[in-house]
Amino acid sequence: MATGFNRNHKITQEGGIIDEEYRVEYVSDRTNTFGKAFLALTFECAHCHDHKYDPISQKDYYRTFAFFNRVPEKGLVGDISLASLADPPRIKITSQEINDILTFINKKDTTPVEVMVMKDSTWKRPTYVLTRGVYDAHGEVVDIGLPSEILLFDSTVYGNNRLGLAKWLFDKNNPLTARVFVNRMWQEFFGRGLVKTSGDFGMQGEMPSHPQLLDWLAVDFREHGWDIKRLIKQIVTSSTYKQSSVASEQKRATDPDNILLARGPRTRLTAEGVRDLALASSGLLVTEVGGPSVKVYQPKGIWESSTSGRGVLARYVQDHGENLYRRGLYSFIKRTVPPPGMLVFDGSNRDQCEVNRMRTNTPLQALVLLNEPLMLEASRVFAERLMVEQSTPEEKVRKAFQSILCRQPKKEELALLLTYYEEEKVGFNQSPVKAKKYIEAGEYQHEKINDVISLAALMQVVQTIYNMDEAITKT
């Protein structure tokens, strides 16, 4: 079932397309993704010609391509109005199977669910080297294989199919797989991999900053059963990761990018992370694991104004209740029109495999944090929860600050926020209508709070804390 990863590349449903052109495109996508995700190599360069820098010939490319070229699929499945969410080949998973063996799946209803999978057809489709990468320019016929500079692929040892490919990938002598993966995990936590170019370990990539550490982590990871959880624990409990990101003038001057890791990482949260932060700190987060994707708040008309009106995803129907408060990774992503708030925070549009996102800093990000319904709702719900507690304004502000920034406010910060709170109370007192409107934010059930003025003033303070640079930055 994990082969679904290989099948869920972008798929066209445009009526007039040429079947073979797109079938080849899909197989290329899989080949490129395989190269980038598992080997951190720019395989796509060898789609049209021998790689200019790395030892991947065009023939190697199509030999790798051959592993993925046996799926009995079509480039065009059919009319979009007839299209299903899972094109063949697919498997059907029943509740019985989930109860018996697939217990890690969270499937809420009882109807069987269909998912796309890889499958090798009984008929062996010949694979050609495609001259200049053109789908119908057939060159010589090639059999499966992999770039021998990495590790020789002997099909009598590994097997003559994708299982053989997996065995080769996880062979003790494969020099890349474990290194590439631990580097990506390192990047997740430090914002920068030990090899900065986490998608390119080739000649055009950068050398590792700490090669011995990379090797040690990779071997350790492999020798402990490729246990990701263990790897993550090792990284986050290391004294390197636990360092403060406060940097002396001197440290900043000698190593502005913190390549040598003399201080802790300081990076902006991902698109999903920004959402998760708001949900978790305000207490809105639904912690359920797995389940179908959810349709969160989205401005009206985004899908409707940019589709032809055909197909099952022509209209956006927002979810309600618990589905609004699930982690960012569960947000529904329509590839042609991804959630706009996520794109603004450099979320990928899932067009192609990305292993390293940018971390930009733009005015549109400010607009999202200031005005997006979920951010306002989190501020409101958090403020309501604080209002219910028997505590002083100072205690409330301290608690909000602690939950959002994971530290206590300094004296000046606290003074500023408390003064702001009192000023806002005066302001809302002068126009209680504004207070009433402001605290309406979001669909989440409202607490009964009589002192609307204090609630609104506190909500404004909480919203301000959410908008601090530090809130969306790992420090």
Partner 1 sequence: MSKEFIDHRFHITRRHFLGKVSLGLGSVALGSLLIPDLFSNSDEPLQTLGLPHFAPKAKRIIYLFQNGAPSQLESFDYKPMLNKMTGEELPASVRMGQRLTGMTSGQAKFPLVGSHFKFNQYGKSGAWVSEIFPNIAKVVDDICFIKSMHTEAINHDPALTFMQTGAQQGNRPSMGAWMSYGLGSENKNLPAYCVLLSRGRGNGQGVYSKLWTNGFLDSVHQGVQFSSSEERVLYLKDPEGRDRADRRKMLDNLAQLNDMNYKEFGDPEIQTRVQQYEMAFRMQTAVPELTDLSKEPDNIIKMYGADCLVPGTYAANCLLARKLSEAGVRFVQLYHQGWDQHGNMTGEMPLQAQDVDRATAALIMDLKQRGLLDETLVIWGGEFGRTNYCQGKFSAENYGRDHHPRAYTIWMAGGGVKPGITYGESDEFGYNIIRDPVHVNDFHATILHLMGLNHEQLTYKHLGRRYRLTDVAGKLVPGILA
Q: Of the two residues 91 and 213, which places its CB atom closer to partner 1 in the complex?
A: 213
Q: Of the two residues 16 and 225, which places its CB atom closer to partner 1 in the complex?
A: 16
Q: Of the two residues 67 and 345, which places its CB atom closer to partner 1 in the complex?
A: 345
Among positions 293-322, residues that touch partner 1 (CB under 8 A) are 299-302, 305-309
Does 395 contact partner 1 by CB under 8 A? Answer: no
Residue with tokens 């605290």: 439
Q: Of the two residues 245 and 391, which places its CB atom closer to partner 1 in the complex?
A: 245
For residue 67, the minimal CB distance to partner 1 (Å) is: 21
> What distance lies between CA 142 and its chain's CA centroid?
35
Contact of 89 with 118, CB cutoff 8 Å: yes
Name which position in 456, 457, 458, 462 contacts partner 1 (CB under 8 A). 456
For residue 76, the minimal CB distance to partner 1 (Å) is: 7
Does 27 contact partner 1 by CB under 8 A? Answer: no
| C-alpha closest to that of 192 among 355, 419, 23 | 355
Name which position in 85, 329, 367, 426 contacts partner 1 (CB under 8 A). 367
For residue 261, the minimal CB distance to partner 1 (Å) is: 12
Does 176 contact partner 1 by CB under 8 A? Answer: no
- Applying CB under 8 A, the span of 187-195, 215-223, 233-241, 352-360 interacting with partner 1 comes to 352-360
Q: Of the two residues 292 and 340, which places its CB atom closer to partner 1 in the complex?
A: 340
Does 418 contact partner 1 by CB under 8 A? Answer: no
For residue 387, the minimal CB distance to partner 1 (Å) is: 17
Name which position in 81, 106, 360, 408 contacts partner 1 (CB under 8 A). 360
Among positions 104-143, residues that touch partner 1 (CB under 8 A) are none
Name which position in 127, 198, 331, 460 contacts partner 1 (CB under 8 A). 460
For residue 401, the minimal CB distance to partner 1 (Å) is: 10
The three state secondary structure string of the chain is CCCHHHHCCCCCCCCCCCHHHHHHHHHHHHHHHHHHHHHCCCHHHHHCCCCCCCCCCHHHHHHHHHHCCCCCCCCCCCCHHHCCCCCCCEEEECHHHHHHCCCCCCCCCCCCEEEECCCCCCCCCCEEEEHHHCCCCEEEEECCCCCCCCCCCCHHHHCCCHHHHHHHHCCCCCCCHHHHHHHHHHHHHHCCCCCCCCCCCCCCCCCCCCHHHHHHHHHHHHHCCCCHHHHHHHHHCCHHHHCCCCCCHHHHHHCCCCCCCCCCCCEECCHHHHHHHHHHHHCCCCCCCCCCCECCCCCCCCCHHHCCCCCCCCCCCCCCHHHHHCCHHHECCECCECCHHHHHCCCCCCCCCCCCCCCCCCHHHHHHHHHCHHHHHHHHHHHHHHHHCCCCHHHHHHHHHHHHHCCCCCHHHHHHHHHHHHHHHHHHHHCHHHHHHHCCCCCCCCCCCCCHHHHHHHHHHHHHHHCCHHHHEEC
Does 11 contact partner 1 by CB under 8 A? Answer: no
Does 225 contact partner 1 by CB under 8 A? Answer: no
Among positions 435-454, residues that touch partner 1 (CB under 8 A) are 435-441
Does 87 contact partner 1 by CB under 8 A? Answer: no
Does 426 contact partner 1 by CB under 8 A? Answer: no
For residue 364, the minimal CB distance to partner 1 (Å) is: 7
- Applying CB under 8 A, the span of 95-103, 147-155, 366-374, 391-399 interacting with partner 1 comes to 366-374
Does 464 contact partner 1 by CB under 8 A? Answer: yes
What's the longest Cα–Cα distance across the chain? Answer: 82
**Cα distance between residue 441 and residue 82, in whole Å:** 39
Name which position in 42, 69, 281, 403 contacts partner 1 (CB under 8 A). 42
For residue 348, the minimal CB distance to partner 1 (Å) is: 9
- Applying CB under 8 A, the span of 84-92, 143-151, 243-251, 382-390 interacting with partner 1 comes to 243-251
Letters for 322-351 (x = contact with partner 1 by CB under 8 A, - = none) are -------------xxxx-xx-xxxx--x-x
Among positions 250-269, residues that touch partner 1 (CB under 8 A) are 252, 266, 268
